[in-house]
């Protein structure tokens, strides 16, 4: 693969340099290439190029560490793991990422790199999400993905994982941006999700393969989640959280910010409510996002729900209206109605029609 005159073989030297400098290379990537004309020439040079601005200490680190690195063998080792690279000079690189500050110079990836050029929406939120939050993340991501958006997130616990799962349930690809090496899935309990995304979507990281998930990596990573997206949708976030860092990046990058409102007395609602208070788009239905981004919404899911509800008998409607999107135990449901046997029958009917769901422990909720 060639990239604006940069060959894949030449990029082996860029990868070797990235292994030594890490994210520090972002600042000097283009000036170095323009000065030397190729990454091989950079690698062969011992002289710190004047005018590029590389600190001498960083150049000395490069001169010392490159003695123990063979770029072609390093590239082969990465390729054997199924890992590929795309640089900011590559035509497959995200156009939107090229518009942000601190552009990642190299992305390591597994999966379909062409997804970087699609219409992407970031969905982020609390790792300690409520059941309601996770359900909304999954349902909204599923419908938005079905309408043609590619859902991106950070593959974290809670909202991130639910959003990826929703996109996959719609048989659509999704993008996971890691705060570790692309070969280091984190958290470990999301390994199965990671495998599915590698197979049916795209996993990317700007960290060199093998990099562990250090806490400091994730706030830096978040600029990529927002940067490759047309907008960021926040579902449940505390007043100070990584999700709000992502939304701050989105505003800085000129992206749209969307938020799902929640009860004012729960900590996870404060972040989205503050965002809405400061001008973020309040989201109730998928079309709220799609219309803002200029998409035509097919109203498929919404119309299906409306048709089902309109066809309900009066007792079924009353029972459905008594339920919310938070789990309610059967005892609390029965306490609102007189005929216990009839309620069980109605619950079964509503579940068959896809309007409610039964959870373990005899809990019910709307879907």
pLDDT confidence of residue 348: 87
Average pLDDT over residues 99-111: 96
Any residues with CB less than 8 A from the CB of 13 and at least 6 apart, and which?
38, 39, 40, 42, 43, 71
Confirm if 167 and 141 have CB atoms less than 8 A apart: yes
Confidence of residue 1 (pLDDT cuts 50, 70, 90): very low
Over residues 297-352, the pLDDT tens digits come to: 555 555 566 778 878 888 888 888 888 767 888 888 887 776 777 888 888 888 88
Would the pTM of this model clear 0.85, i.e. be above it? Answer: no
- How far CA 226 is from CA of 294, 337, 349, in Å, comes to 18, 48, 42
Helix (H) or strand (E) holding 208: none
pLDDT confidence of residue 336: 79
Average pLDDT over residues 41-54: 94
Tell me which of 1.10.10.10, 1.10.520.10, 1.10.630.10, 3.40.50.450 is the CATH number of domain 113-297.
Answer: 3.40.50.450
Angle, helices 242-252/267-277, rounded to nearest 10 degrees: 10
Q: What is the mean pLDDT of the chain?
A: 91
Confirm if 179 and 213 have CB atoms less than 8 A apart: yes
Any residues with CB less than 8 A from the CB of 324 and at least 6 apart, and which?
365, 366
Q: Which residues pair with 2 in a beta bridge?
A: 7
pLDDT confidence of residue 294: 84
- Min mean pLDDT across 56-60, 118-122, 137-141, 298-302 is at 298-302
Within 170-227, where are the H helices?
191-200, 217-227
Over residues 273-292, the pLDDT tens digits come to: 999 999 999 998 898 999 89
pLDDT confidence of residue 354: 82
Q: Where are the domains of the chain?
A: 2-80, 113-297, 301-366
- How far CA 329 is from CA of 130, 202, 298, 324, in Å, comes to 16, 39, 35, 11
In terms of DSSP bridges, do strands 6-7 and 84-87 run parallel, antiparallel, or are they unpaired? unpaired
Residue among 246, 238, 235, 245 at smallest CA distance from 266? 238
* Residue that is written with structure tokens 């390994």 in the block: 191
Dist CA 154 CA 146 (whole Å): 20
Instruction: Please name the CATH architecture into which domain 301-366 falls.
Output: Orthogonal Bundle (1.10)
**CB neighbourhood size of 37 (10 A):** 11
Confirm if 330 and 363 have CB atoms less than 8 A apart: yes
Over residues 123-172, the pLDDT tens digits come to: 999 999 999 999 999 999 999 999 999 999 999 999 999 999 999 999 99
Percent of the chain with pLDDT over 70: 95
pLDDT confidence of residue 4: 47
pLDDT confidence of residue 5: 45
pLDDT confidence of residue 2: 37
Higher pLDDT, 282 or 363: 282
ω into residue 29 within 30 of 0, thus cis?
A: no
Helix (H) or strand (E) holding 350: helix 340-352
Dist CA 65 CA 19 (whole Å): 10
- Min mean pLDDT across 54-58, 59-63, 158-162, 306-310 is at 306-310
């Amino acid at each position: 693969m060639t990239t604006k005159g940069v060959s894949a073989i030449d990029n082996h030297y860029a990868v070797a340099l990235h292994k030594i400098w890490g994210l520090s290379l972002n600042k000097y990537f283009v000036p170095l290439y323009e000065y030397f004309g190729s990454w091989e020439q950079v690698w062969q040079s011992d002289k710190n190029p004047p005018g590029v601005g590389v600190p001498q200490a960083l150049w000395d680190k490069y001169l010392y560490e490159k003695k123990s690195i063979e770029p072609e063998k390093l590239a082969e080792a990465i390729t054997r793991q199924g890992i590929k690279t795309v640089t900011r000079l590559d035509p497959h690189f995200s156009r939107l990422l090229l518009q942000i500050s601190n552009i990642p110079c190299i992305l390591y990836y597994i999966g379909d790199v062409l997804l970087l050029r699609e219409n992407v929406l970031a969905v982020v939120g609390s790792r300690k999400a409520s059941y309601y939050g996770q359900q909304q993340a999954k349902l909204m991501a599923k419908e938005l993905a079905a309408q043609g958006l590619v859902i991106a997130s950070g593959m974290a616990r809670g909202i991130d994982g639910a959003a990826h799962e929703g996109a996959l349930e719609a048989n659509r690809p999704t993008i996971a941006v890691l705060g570790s090496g692309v070969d280091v899935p984190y958290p470990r309990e999301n390994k199965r999700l990671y495998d599915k995304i590698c197979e049916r979507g795209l996993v990317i990281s700007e960290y060199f393969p093998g990099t562990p998930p250090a806490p400091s990596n994730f706030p830096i990573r978040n600029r990529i989640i927002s940067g490759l997206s047309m907008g960021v949708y926040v579902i449940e976030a505390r007043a100070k959280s990584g999700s709000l860092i992502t939304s701050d990046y989105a505003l800085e990058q000129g992206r749209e910010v969307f938020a799902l409102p929640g009860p004012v007395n729960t900590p996870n609602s404060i972040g989205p409510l503050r965002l809405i208070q400061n001008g973020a788009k309040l989201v109730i239905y998928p079309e709220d996002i799609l219309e803002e981004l200029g998409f035509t919404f097919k109203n498929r899911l919404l119309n299906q729900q409306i048709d089902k509800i309109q066809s309900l008998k009066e007792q079924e409607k009353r029972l459905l209206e008594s339920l919310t999107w938070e789990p309610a135990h059967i005892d609390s449901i029965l306490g609102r109605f007189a005929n216990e046997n009839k309620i069980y029958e109605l619950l079964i009917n509503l579940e068959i029609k896809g309007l409610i769901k039964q959870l373990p422990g005899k809990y019910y909720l709307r879907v």
